Amino acid sequence: MKMLGRIQFLFLLVLLSPAARAQVETDDTVEREEGSRLEDFDRRLAEQQGLIEAQQEQIAAQQEALEEQKGRITGLSEELEAQQLEELEGELEGGEHKASRLMNIYGFFDLTFTKNFLGDDSPYMIATHQTTSFVFSRLNLYFDSQMTETLSALAEFRFSFLPHGYETNLEVVGPTGETIPGTEYERVDTTVLNPVSLEFSRTGTVYIERAHLTYAPFDWLQVLVGRYLTPYGIWNVDHGPTVILTTAVPYMQIRELVPLAQTGVQVFGRLFPTDRLFFDYAITLSNGRGPIDTIWDLDDNKGVGLKLKLRYEHDRVSFAIGAYGYYGTFTDIKKMIQMEADDPGSLSNVKIQTTDAYRECIGAGDVLLEVNGVRLQTEFVLQYSDRTAATLIEPEFLRLLQEEPGYAGPHYYADNLAKSYYVLLGWELPLRQWIGQVRITPYAMYEHNLSHEAIEMLNARFLTWGLNVKPSPFVALKAEGGILFPTEEGVNDRPKSLHLQMAVFF
């Protein structure tokens, strides 16, 4: 029995030992595999660490290079600022001009989508069209330079597609269906052909809005010489589409009841009764108004004007009241060569004949109140013109021609008192906390114009309303509707308009 037990034990041992051996072998294999995996892992870890270290070295090198760049930029920036400081300093010491004075160039333009709603036989179609259209009316460029501390120059140019498309004459058909002689329809066409490239181009205009030199030694005394905007009112000074609320200037500006610009000299200045009160004055001396006043005055009488304005400002409240008075003469002439019977070839007898002349006296006033985004502004103008020479009025002449065919007598242009005013109310909505820096201003304007006592068609009342949205300081988007109320009896048409405008300052 014991033997059997031993034999069984031995047998078991023999049976188990391969398994044990196998187990041991398996364990060994596992161990070896584990070891190999660990080694592999260690190797890869070492590799990764090596990579990380290499990358860290790279980053350190890049940071060093970045610091070096920053240092260089700071140095350049300091150099530039030192240079700018030197230039400014030079201006202050005796006003010496420093080389390479930069000129600033900037400007504005606008594009308007417009639709006029006119009756089919509306008399207002003389001046406009009733089809929808995109209208690119102007591009203004400014060139300004501060040459020294007290001397500066400014030039403003308007680029326009005009006179292309300008209707210079309308055909007039009499009651019997015959075209009245001398009244054929004419429209300017500036299309030209380039003889080299054979391309067609439409030429436009460059118009000098203003160009002047300003000498400003003191706040209270400054002198401006050149072509300048008449310093009256609010709109004539604002005049750019990114500044004014509406899509167009008021009718009093279009009718030029006050000369919008003058060529001559202006002495102006500002006094400070208190820190919040500004008192402005300006004295203008110019060629006045004339058919070619931009380049020549056709009479010896100069136009003189005086502006006074008081303005109060504090925080978000401002109030301004101003006035401008002007006196001048308008003269138009024609030149004739009087040929002598005994010397018909002589050109020495030149005669000047006055074809139109009047004296004008103008008074204009303006008020502007701004309180927490609400803007109320109004302007009025009274213009009295005293005719000093007989002048033919075309509409009157045509009427007389119809009544008496062959009429050749004169008709005198009467003295005239023109009156015009407008009131504009706008409110910049307090929506900043919801829409950020976008500025939204609804507005409404009423205008009353009596430009000419004899020609009713030039007189009208306007009601305009709209929305001005400024998504940025450089762009203004406007949507505006308007109605014209004619004052002429018998004119039933009340033209309406819709304008969508984008104005850009750059």
Partner 1 sequence: MRLLLLIAVLLLYPTAIVAESPDDILIIANKGVSAKSVTMDELRAMFLKKRKQWKQGGNVVPIHAKKGSPLRHQFQLRVLKMNPDEEDTYWNDQQVRHGLGPPPEFGYGLKAVFKLKGSVSYIYRKDFREGVVKVLAVVPRG
Q: Are the CB atoms for 423 and 446 separated by under 8 Å?
A: yes
Contact between 85 and partner 1 by CB under 8 A: the answer reads: yes
- From the list 273-281, 318-326, 336-344, 375-383, the region that binds partner 1 by CB under 8 A is 273-281
Distance CA 169, CA 167 (A): 6
Nearer to partner 1, 219 or 386 (CB): 219
Chosen residue from 164, 255, 270, 302 binding partner 1 by CB under 8 A? 270
Nearer to partner 1, 289 or 470 (CB): 470
Q: What is the β-pairing status of strands 317-337 and 191-193? A: unpaired
Chosen residue from 6, 21, 314, 334 binding partner 1 by CB under 8 A? 314
Name 110's Cβ contacts closer than 8 Å, sequence gap at least 6.
136, 137, 138, 241, 501, 502, 503, 504
408-447 positions binding partner 1, by CB under 8 A: 437, 439
Distance CA 202, CA 289 (A): 31
Could you tell me what percentage of the chain is helix, strand and coil, using 3-state DSSP and rounding each to the nearest 5? 25, 45, 30
Contact between 370 and partner 1 by CB under 8 A: the answer reads: no
Nearer to partner 1, 49 or 83 (CB): 83
Residue 141 Cβ vs partner 1, minimum distance, rounded to whole Å: 12
Contact between 154 and partner 1 by CB under 8 A: the answer reads: yes
Contact between 92 and partner 1 by CB under 8 A: the answer reads: yes
Reported in sequence order, the residue ranges of 247-346 that DSSP labels E, i.e. its strands, are 261-274, 277-286, 303-314, 317-337
Residue 89 Cβ vs partner 1, minimum distance, rounded to whole Å: 6
Chosen residue from 137, 190, 242, 354 binding partner 1 by CB under 8 A? 242
Contact between 318 and partner 1 by CB under 8 A: the answer reads: no
Nearer to partner 1, 106 or 136 (CB): 106
Q: Are the CB atoms for 158 and 142 separated by under 8 Å?
A: no
Chosen residue from 117, 144, 310, 496 binding partner 1 by CB under 8 A? 144
Distance CA 165, CA 127 (A): 12
In 3D space, the residue among 282, 283, 236 whose CA is nearest the CA of residue 255 turns out to be 236
Chosen residue from 33, 39, 89, 96 binding partner 1 by CB under 8 A? 89
Q: Are the CB atoms for 226 and 210 separated by under 8 Å?
A: yes
Contact between 96 and partner 1 by CB under 8 A: the answer reads: no
Chosen residue from 121, 178, 315, 342 binding partner 1 by CB under 8 A? 315
Q: Which DSSP helix (H) or strand (E) runs through 193?
A: strand 191-193
Place of tokens 């009488």: 301
Enter the tokens of residue 375.
């803007």
3-state secondary structure 326-381: EEEEEEEEEEEECCECCECCCCCCEEEEEEEEEEEEEEEEEEEEEECCEEEEEEEE
Enter the tokens of residue 412.
């005198």
Nearer to partner 1, 146 or 378 (CB): 146
x/- map, 196-235, partner 1, by CB under 8 A: --------------------x-xx----------------
Per CB under 8 A, residues contacting partner 1 are 77-78, 81, 84-85, 88-89, 92-93, 104, 106, 108, 142, 144, 149-150, 152, 154, 156, 216, 218-219, 237-240, 242-243, 270, 272, 275-276, 278, 313-316, 437, 439, 470, 472-474, 505
